[in-house]
Structure 1
Amino acid sequence: MHSTSSMPQASGIRPWWQAAPLTLVFVLFFLVPLALVLMVSFWDFNEYELLPAFTLKNYLAVFEGCGNASDLCVTLRTYLSTLKFCLLVWGITLVLGFAVAYFLAFHVRSAGMQTLLFVLCTIPFWTSNVIRMISWVPLLGRNGLVNQTLAGMRLIDAPVEWLLFSDFSVVLAFVHLYTMFMIVPIFNSMMRIDSSLLEAANDAGASGWQTLWSVIVPLSRTGIVIGSIFVVTIVMGDFVTIGVMGGQQIASVGKIIQVQTSYLQFPLAAANAVILLAVVLMVIWGLTRLVDIRKEL
């Protein structure tokens, strides 16, 4: 009797032991660093050291001048610039990612060919992001291949300046780097769609566009939301791409944080990071209102 009564207790403890390693990793490498950043954001500092003391001056410095209704402060202008890139990249990667995923899921019949094409899509990830960004410079520069080709075709009289170190080059690099983050979850959602639903829509007389809009898009919304979360969160915090492709001339929230850390202004950088995290979490919360990801998965 004693041995049988102890078995339910053992079975009840076992899941906790199984979850303990992952929980420990989550706490050590996510919650603890996040708590440290939050703590440091309330510290004071000078040119030489951090001063552990509770103060709100870092947050006040971030929003300095934002009370003027006639002119946007530096923080709001920077966030608007970052959100502009975020929306542009999200829209372009969504269209491209959906189109590629749709082609792979519904127009490539062979599973082997699907795998081959999917692997081809991942080839750019075999190299560093910096290398992939720098590869655009010989193409888009004043004396780059694009300008030389346009000049050779007599389409331009002078080099096109906005191809490199501009908003265009930043968006282009973002799309190049992060479209795959949109393709993968959308493709995964499309592969789960029952083919009988498409046949039923066809039998009901629905056109291709009607089937796409009324059947495929709603059933792919989980992948769309997950891909959107990936792209939005990465672009919001990116500073390397904007720095390299923008010629260090375009401001972003991530770039501001990077500059502040380089000047050892860690509490101020931490305050900016906390605010950025809050904005990103609000965006993610808004996206997850569109679909219950846990239920769909």
Structure 2
Amino acid sequence: MASPHRSIPAWLQAGPFAAVFVLFFLVPLALTLMVSFWGFNEYELLPGFRLDNYLSIFKGCGHLNERGDLCVTLATYLSTLKFCLLVWAITLLLGFAVAYFLAFHVRSPGVQTALFVLCTVPFWTSNVIRMISWVPLLGRNGLVNQVLVGSGVANQPVEWLLFSNFSVVLAFVHLYTMFMIVPIFNSMMRIDRSLLEAASDSGASGWQTLWNVIVPLSRTGIIIGSIFVITIVMGDFVTIGVMGGQQIASVGKIIQVQTSYLQFPLAAANAVILLAVVLMIIWGLTRLVDIRREL
């Protein structure tokens, strides 16, 4: 008997999904791109087509300023990319280690599930609450400084533990390591265990098996996790604002400030540039592995 689904044209089956994609993805992007070319003043938006917003963003970026520094836009992007690279490297190491332990050292499926669920516990509360929880630990009079001063390790409270680059990176790692664990763990669970036995029978050491067998076969999960972490960190402004004490600039923070001052066309132009940068990074990552073929 013919399947009832075969009587429905393929384009009609895909219609609802295409409509959702167009309505909630393509239309907002098109509106953002359109508004980025508009003008504005203190009172209203001025529809039209002009490049003033993009020229304003890159003003002075063709040369160093009088102090020998980069323009604000390039300095901000470099700062954001710095955080992105640090967070990506740390979450990759932590995520790979945790996923490797769960996949190859925990034999019981029940224990695997329990430990995996335990990793998701931080997601049971909001990001803001998880960030704020670091304040009483890392503050000048926080628990960490009390321990350091009380044990004689430090003569006075350490200032850089909070509202600094360190606290921003720490919060990012705390918030987003799970986005690296899940896809890597999924890739590792699909590895044929007979390949590991064959490598061991061939005389390969544990490190050789890890580097030549497990890492290549986990690259799809590594790339997917990297895309998750990089895209989130590049556009984040809440974490940098809270943990940086509103003193550290980022692209997302600039966009948030511009929208708060109703400078929507300028914020839209910055958003378009940020999207282009993120898409180039994603394009570079996807060149390393054909995700569609590997999934």
Identify whether the pair has TM-score above 0.5, normalized to the shorter chain.
Answer: yes
Unaligned runs of 5+ in 2: none
Q: Which residue of 2 aligns with 1:131?
A: 129
Give the letter aligned to residue 203 of structure 1.
D
**How far off its partner does 1:71 sit?**
3.4
Partners of 1:13 and 1:109 in 2: CA distance: 45
Q: Which residue of 1 aligns with 2:96?
A: 98
Q: How does 1:170-249 map to 2 (within 5 A)?
A: 170-249=168-247
Q: Structure 1 stretch 74-83 or stretch 19-28: which is displaced more?
A: 19-28
Percentage of matched positions with identical amino acids: 84
Partners of 1:11 and 1:112 in 2: CA distance: 40
| TM-superposition CA deviations, 1:184-205 (whole Å, max 9, x none) | 0000000000000000000000
Q: Which residue of 2 aligns with 1:35?
A: 30
| TM-superposition CA deviations, 1:194-220 (whole Å, max 9, x none) | 000000000000000000000000000
Alpha-carbon RMSD: 1.3
**How far off its partner does 1:11 sit?**
3.7
Q: What is the total number of aligned residue pairs between the two structures?
A: 290
Partners of 2:8 and 2:284 in 1: CA distance: 36
Q: How does 1:1-297 map to 2 (within 5 A)?
A: 11=6, 13-69=8-64, 70-297=68-295
**How far off its partner does 1:61 sit?**
0.5
Partners of 2:7 and 2:279 in 1: CA distance: 34
Partners of 1:191 and 1:14 in 2: CA distance: 36
Partners of 1:13 and 1:119 in 2: CA distance: 40
Unaligned runs of 5+ in 1: 1-6
**How far off its partner does 1:53 sit?**
1.0
| TM-superposition CA deviations, 1:61-119 (whole Å, max 9, x none) | 01011011453100000000000000000000000000000000000000000000000
Change in 2 beyond 3 A, CA 1:55/1:21: same
| TM-superposition CA deviations, 1:114-168 (whole Å, max 9, x none) | 0000000000000000000000000000000000011110111111000000000
| TM-superposition CA deviations, 1:268-289 (whole Å, max 9, x none) | 0000000000000000000000
Give the letter aligned to residue 176 of structure 1.
H
**How far off its partner does 1:60 sit?**
0.3
TM-score, normalized by length of structure 1?
Answer: 0.96
Partners of 1:74 and 1:150 in 2: CA distance: 37
Give the letter aligned to residue 228 of structure 1.
S
Partners of 2:112 and 2:6 in 1: CA distance: 42
TM-score, normalized by length of structure 2?
Answer: 0.96
Q: Which residue of 2 aligns with 1:3?
A: none
Secondary structure in 1 aligned to 2:157? coil
Secondary structure in 2 aligned to 1:157? coil
